[in-house]
Amino acid sequence: MEYLADLENEGIRNMAPNGNALTDIKCKAAKAKNKTYAMYDVDGLYLEVAPNGGKYWRFSYRFTGKRKRTALGVYPEITLQKRESNATSYEKSSRKEKIQAR
């Protein structure tokens, strides 16, 4: 993933705090709590678990020095493999916007 390393050097990517990748077992086992919480994956990807039991893929990144996040889809409709390709596609479009803004 050369492209991701390049983006990290530009400060667009931010790393997940725990550095552990999520597994399908961990995602299925996530239970709703009183408040929304996040289960962090690697490279800014995380699964947000809502109080109603909904599980949503999110991508957190920095763009021009500001923290941003975007929705990538609903788990399990968006699989573990597909969520990474969605994040990569989003990064490429964000990079083009940054270049155009210069």
- Give the residue numbers spanning the domain of 46: 2-101
Number of domains present in the structure of the chain:
1
User: What CATH number is associated with residue 26?
Assistant: 3.30.160.390
Query: What global pTM score does this model have?
Result: 0.65
Alpha carbons 77 and 17: distance in angstroms, whole number = 25
- Residue 92, pLDDT > 90, answer no
Rounded to the nearest integer, the mean pLDDT of the chain is: 74
- Residue 95, pLDDT > 60, answer no
- Residue 41, pLDDT > 80, answer yes
Alpha carbons 59 and 86: distance in angstroms, whole number = 9
φ/ψ region of 5 (left if φ > 0, alpha if ψ in -120 to 50, else beta) reads alpha
